[in-house]
Amino acid sequence: MTSAARTRSSAELIGAEEPVLAHNYHPLPVVVARARGAWVEDVEGRRYLDMLAGYSALNFGHRHPALTEAAHRQLDRLTLTSRAFHNDRLAEFAERLAALTGLDMVLPMNTGAEAVESAVKVARKWAYDVKGVPAGEATIVVASDNFHGRTTTIVSFSTDETARAGFGPFTPGFRIVPYNDLAALEAAVDETTAAVLIEPIQGEAGVNIPDDGYLAGVRELTRRAGCLFVADEIQSGLGRTGRTLAVDHESVVPDMVLLGKALGGGIVPVSAVVARREVLGVLHPGEHGSTFGGNPLAAAVGTAVVELLETGEFQRRAAELGVVLRDGLESLVGRGVVGFRSRGLWAGVDVDPALGTGREVSERLMREGVLVKDTHGSTIRLAPPLTVRGEELQDALGTLGKVLGQGG
Ligand SMILES: Cc1ncc(COP(=O)(O)O)c(C=O)c1O
């Protein structure tokens, strides 16, 4: 079976998926077989520069040697205990992650959506136990165009009809306000508010960057209102924007920070809620958990990720190469690009709709050896591994210019 799979062509493998895989994705027609650093290779041996990096789950590139080494070492010692027992890797992971984010306590989970779900539960419990909101009345304020994951509760407060339609009934208790609008947020917050939950930069919405001062404003407002500020840094965090966290650009410390994606080093799913002691301290044994959360393999890889970030090298690279990315995109404005938003090594690029949809541009880039992903309409998202080299980035931007120059 495995050897047969190895000899099948890309077209055959894509065809073989069709009848047996749920159609909840529409991947680009490329079948990746191996990868290293910023490069992936398909089953026919064609190479592509990965300018998506697993939606930021591969911030350190594919198979970073320090991360695979940590994983291999742990695979040979201990992989899973469940939290029924202690394991010898979890304490160090939690200590170092808390120190990296400037917060006190860590709740380890697996996927991003689980971290968000956990934060919703913790915020509600905090509202009842600490703030004194009457039972069952806690509200959470979120932003329009958010993306926090795919569970039933999370899509309950999505404004994307494709993500919601057909999945109700939904979880109550959420108020949606326009993103980047402090006045609207202020109007929505009241004595029932447990938390304000936002992405410091909205990734899926097209790398939507709020005005300077918005995050500091949210911090100020939530402090004044006596509710929690929860920052979903699952896509924006861990070096992507040129700082450890996107909120660091405004020197803001939220009450809860949600991490995922790159925390697993592109190897295993690792997510976490990191928070002030007063907040995560509301959880007691039996009230929340996960069989796999905090497993020794995840903790070993997560610790190695934190270790990479402690050096500051990746944040520095993202900031420096972010200038190359911004300059390159600036030079394409009016030449197929109608506008873009970027911070660090992360950009949402609006291409001229006359030249094609984001999907069509992504397919043209793929044929030229560059992998990206569209978000909505004619917007594509660029998020290369933070290990990408300046020349590779410049080449990819040159390729973007070329495919836009070719038109439809
Ligand atoms: C900001 C944000 N939060 C949460 C999630 C959900 O993460 P996961 O797909 O690991 O559940 C994502 C995924 O794209 C995200 O971008």
Other C-beta atoms lying within 10 Å of the C-beta of residue 213: 11
pLDDT surpassing 70 at residue 1: no
Q: Is the CB of 128 under 6 A from ligand 1?
A: no
pLDDT surpassing 90 at residue 140: yes
Residue 377's pLDDT is 87
Residue 6's pLDDT is 56
Render pLDDT for 353-404 as a digit per residue (tens, 0 to 9).
999 999 999 999 999 999 999 988 899 999 999 999 999 999 999 999 999 9
Residue 376's pLDDT is 85
Residue 186's pLDDT is 98
**Separation of 163 CA from ligand 1 center, angstroms?**
13
Among residues 199, 196, 200, the alpha carbon closest in space to that of 228 is found at 196
Q: In whole angstroms, what is the distance from residue 263 CA to residue 160 CA?
A: 27
Q: In what order do the strands lie in the sheet with 373-374?
A: 337-342, 347-351, 379-382, 373-374
CB 406 within 8 A of CB 364: yes
Render pLDDT for 277-313 as a digit per residue (tens, 0 to 9).
999 999 999 999 999 999 999 999 999 999 999 999 9
Whether 350 is a known active-site residue: answer no
Q: Which atom of ligand 1 is nearest to the CA of 146?
A: 1
pLDDT surpassing 90 at residue 406: no
- As a whole number, the mean pLDDT across the chain is 96
Residue 7's pLDDT is 82
Helix (H) or strand (E) holding 140: strand 139-143
CB 47 within 8 A of CB 261: no
**Separation of 22 CA from ligand 1 center, angstroms?**
20
User: Rounded to 5 degrees, what angle do the CA atoms 31, 33, 39 make?
Assistant: 95
What's the average model confidence in pLDDT over 204-211?
A: 97
> What single-letter DSSP state applies at residue 130?
I
**Separation of 408 CA from ligand 1 center, angstroms?**
32
Q: In whole angstroms, what is the distance from residue 153 CA to residue 157 CA?
A: 7
Render pLDDT for 314-349 as a digit per residue (tens, 0 to 9).
999 999 999 999 999 999 999 999 999 999 999 999
Task: Out of 148, 207, 292, give the residue to mutate to test ligand 1, the one with the largest number of ligand atoms within 8 Å of its CB.
Answer: 148
Quote the percentage of the chain above a pLDDT of 70.
Answer: 98
Q: In whole angstroms, what is the distance from residue 268 CA to residue 263 CA?
A: 9
pLDDT surpassing 50 at residue 114: yes
Q: In whole angstroms, what is the distance from residue 333 CA to residue 74 CA?
A: 48
Render pLDDT for 171-186 as a digit per residue (tens, 0 to 9).
999 999 999 999 999 9
Q: In whole angstroms, what is the distance from residue 207 CA to residue 51 CA?
A: 14
Residue nearest to atom 3 of ligand 1 (CA): 148
CB 242 within 8 A of CB 209: no
Q: Is the CB of 235 under 6 A from ligand 1?
A: yes
Whether 170 is a known active-site residue: answer no
Q: Between these two residues, 86 and 7, which has the higher pLDDT value?
A: 86
Structure confidence at residue 118 as a pLDDT band (50, 70, 90): very high
User: What is the C-alpha end-to-end distance of the chain, expressed in Å?
Assistant: 41
3-state secondary structure of 123: helix
**Separation of 259 CA from ligand 1 center, angstroms?**
9
Helix (H) or strand (E) holding 232: strand 228-232
Beta bridge partners of 340: 349
Residue 407's pLDDT is 53
At 24, give phi and psi (nearest 5°): -90, 0
Q: Catalytic pick from 60, 147, 229, 292?
A: 147
Structure confidence at residue 87 as a pLDDT band (50, 70, 90): very high
Q: Which residue has the tokens 């999907």?
A: 359
Among residues 334, 301, 291, 405, the alpha carbon closest in space to that of 74 is found at 301
**Separation of 115 CA from ligand 1 center, angstroms?**
9
Whether 261 is a known active-site residue: answer yes
Q: Catalytic pick from 42, 261, 292, 374?
A: 261
Q: Which atom of ligand 1 is nearest to the CA of 113?
A: 11
Render pLDDT for 49-66 as a digit per residue (tens, 0 to 9).
999 999 999 999 999 999
pLDDT surpassing 50 at residue 201: yes
